[in-house]
Amino acid sequence: MTLAEKILAAHSGKDRVSPGEFINVRPDLVLSNDITAPIAIKEFERLGVKSVFNPKKIVMVPDHFCPNKDIHSAEQAKMMRDFAHKYNLIYFEVGEMGIEHVILPEKGLVLPGDVVVGADSHTCTYGALDAFATGMGSTDIAVAMATGEIWMKVPPTIKFVFHGKPRKWVGGKDFILYIIGKIGVDGAIYSAMEFHGEAVHALSMDSRFTMSNMAIEAGGKAGLCHMDDKTRAYLKGRAKRKYTEYSSDPDAVYAKVIEYDADKIEPQVAFPHIPSNTRPISQVGTVSIDQAVIGSCTNGRMDDLQLAGKILKGRKVNPNVRCIILPGSQKIYLDALRNGLIETFIRAGAAVSTPTCGPCLGGYMGVLAAGERCISTTNRNFVGRMGHVKSEVYLANPAVAAASAVLGRIASPEELA
């Protein structure tokens, strides 16, 4: 069996499962946020149950439009907070919060071998920790909160192997954009993606989270990495319960095996208005920008900030650019304050914000006007994603975003080296 099949079998009381099979799964963690929880709460109440299946396995995070951006958002955040308190769920108030997919691993709430379901498509992020994690809708989450069970169809698995070594300035963001550029936004539809190869193991944990995070942009149901010493070191001191290490069998059956040569992959930029519209940085041409955003569940971790810091240290953001940096959690914010990164960013002329999903989905903290262009370390560049329908979003890694902020056009970090 593949990694995904093994984890799903273990959570559905079966010895083995095969792709296409419908199973009832008992998740270890059920997640929602301030925009998906309200519908889940309404549906939960329609079920007429008196309690949740296990308050220690349900997490609610106010991150999308929080700290509250307007009255409607405030009402939604309050509805979630009241529900979380009523049922004694795991809940993080703004002072200790962060973006859900950044803080859940950071606080050791997700562990290898877990099944996590979340009312957020980027729940697949936790695949970097060897967990089977997938996004669903609010009604699914309502039923999971009430019953502790959720139906799933066992996905086929596609294996992606990255041979060789990542080039300088290349990380998980570039690998996943490269995959999406090759296979398209539905190239892994309904499938689990497994990431293999020396080049993937060469990535930091933060960079692996980025890679798993965007499995959904290829249509994937999950994006799984394989455990190694870096994973174990990350978990040390965080994991507060026992976990099981699974790995794919040598004779596991894959729907497809796709191999790439990492040595040939440059930093990638996804042009509007679809994440598969990728180009290597050398082929970008001259694209001037109005805004650079560094943050999100995709690239708001310490490694990402450090990459941006390397570029911005001693330099100035171009006067035509708004550079907005959002640490992914309060812990990362505090660490960045201590190690001097926040000062570097502010001296460079960047705005630094409290953690929020805000600008990624055109919520607040960096909404675009008609005709404006943004280079962003976020995950989607659909029409109107960050604001006006006539604005444009280009996706890239944090080093490219920072270099672009300095030069006022989409640029390679090499240009500043």
Partner 1 sequence: MTLKGKVFKYGANIDTDAIIPARHLNLYEPADLAQHCMEDLDEEFLKQVKPGDIIVADTNFGCGSSREHAPLAIKASGISAVIAKSFARIFFRNGINIGLPLLESEEAVDNIKAGDTVEVDLAAGRITNLSTGKAFQAKPYPEFMMEIVQAGGLVEQTKKKLARNK
51 lines the binding site for partner 1 (CB under 8 A): no
Q: Which is nearer to partner 1, 148 or 280 (CB)?
A: 148
* Residue 56 buriedness (CB in 10 A; 0-12 / 13-18 / 19+): exposed
- Look up residue 351 and give its amino acid: A
Q: Which of residues 161-190 bind partner 1 (CB under 8 A)?
A: 185-186, 189-190
CB of 48 to partner 1, least distance (A): 7
Among 131, 143, 200, 405, binds partner 1 (CB under 8 A): 143
Return the structure tokens found at 139.
């009604």
Q: Which is nearer to partner 1, 143 or 332 (CB)?
A: 143
Residues 6+ apart with CB under 8 A from 99: 61, 63, 295, 296, 297, 300, 328, 329, 355, 356, 357
211-250 mask for partner 1 (x: CB under 8 A)? --------x-x-----------------------------
Among 56, 86, 96, 151, binds partner 1 (CB under 8 A): 151
116 lines the binding site for partner 1 (CB under 8 A): no
Q: Which of residues 249-278 bind partner 1 (CB under 8 A)?
A: 274
362 lines the binding site for partner 1 (CB under 8 A): yes
Q: At residue 221, what are phi and psi to the nearest 5 degrees? A: -90, -30
Residue 222 near residue 127, CB atoms below 8 Å: yes
CA distance to 69, 316, 327, 386, 393, per residue, from 358 (Å): 9, 24, 12, 9, 15
Residues 6+ apart with CB under 8 A from 118: 29, 30, 31, 32, 100, 133, 134, 135, 136, 141
DSSP code for 306:
H
CB of 180 to partner 1, least distance (A): 12
CA-CA-CA-CA torsion sign (125, 406, 306, 33): negative
**What whole-number distance in Å separates Cα of residue 137 and Cα of residue 118?**
8
Judged by CB under 8 A, the stretch of 129-137, 175-183, 259-267, 288-296 that binds partner 1 is 129-137
Among 18, 51, 70, 263, binds partner 1 (CB under 8 A): 70
Among 38, 166, 172, 197, binds partner 1 (CB under 8 A): 38
Residue 127 near residue 211, CB atoms below 8 Å: no
Give the binding-site size for partner 1 (rule: CB under 8 A). 52
43 lines the binding site for partner 1 (CB under 8 A): yes
Judged by CB under 8 A, the stretch of 160-168, 202-210, 278-286, 379-387 that binds partner 1 is 379-387
Q: Which of residues 18-37 bind partner 1 (CB under 8 A)?
A: 22, 35-36
Q: At residue 193, what are phi and psi to the nearest 5 degrees? A: -105, 135
**What whole-number distance in Å separates Cα of residue 29 and Cα of residue 44?**
17
61 lines the binding site for partner 1 (CB under 8 A): no
* Chain residues in the site for partner 1 (CB under 8 A): 22, 35-36, 38-39, 42-43, 46-49, 64-65, 69-70, 72-73, 76, 118-121, 123, 135-140, 142-143, 146-147, 151, 153, 185-186, 189-190, 219, 221, 274, 361-363, 367, 380, 382-385, 389
